[in-house]
Amino acid sequence: MIDPYYVQSDDTLSDMAPQLKRALGLTEDDLARLSPEARNLFSARRHLGHTWLDDYEIVVEVTRAPGGCACGIQEGQKIVFDMRHKVKPALSDAPLCLHLMSPVLSIFYMTFDRAAEGLNPLTCIWRYIECPVTGPDHGAGKALAQVHMRRVDTHEPVTARILAPMGEAT
What are the pLDDT digits (tens) for 31-79?
888 888 777 777 766 655 557 778 889 999 999 988 767 788 999 999 9
Q: Is this prediction's pTM over 0.85?
A: no
Looking at residue 45, its pLDDT comes to: 61
Among candidate residues 76, 84, 77, the one with its CA nearest the CA of residue 58: 84
Residue 117: predicted pLDDT: 67
CB of 111 closer than 8 Å to CB of 121: yes
The neighbour count for residue 155, using CB atoms within 10 Å, is 11
Instruction: Measure the CA–CA gap between 120 and 148, rounded to whole angstroms.
Output: 10
- Kindly report the number of other CB atoms within 10 A of residue 98's CB atom: 10
Domain coordinates in residue numbering, the chain? 17-48, 55-151
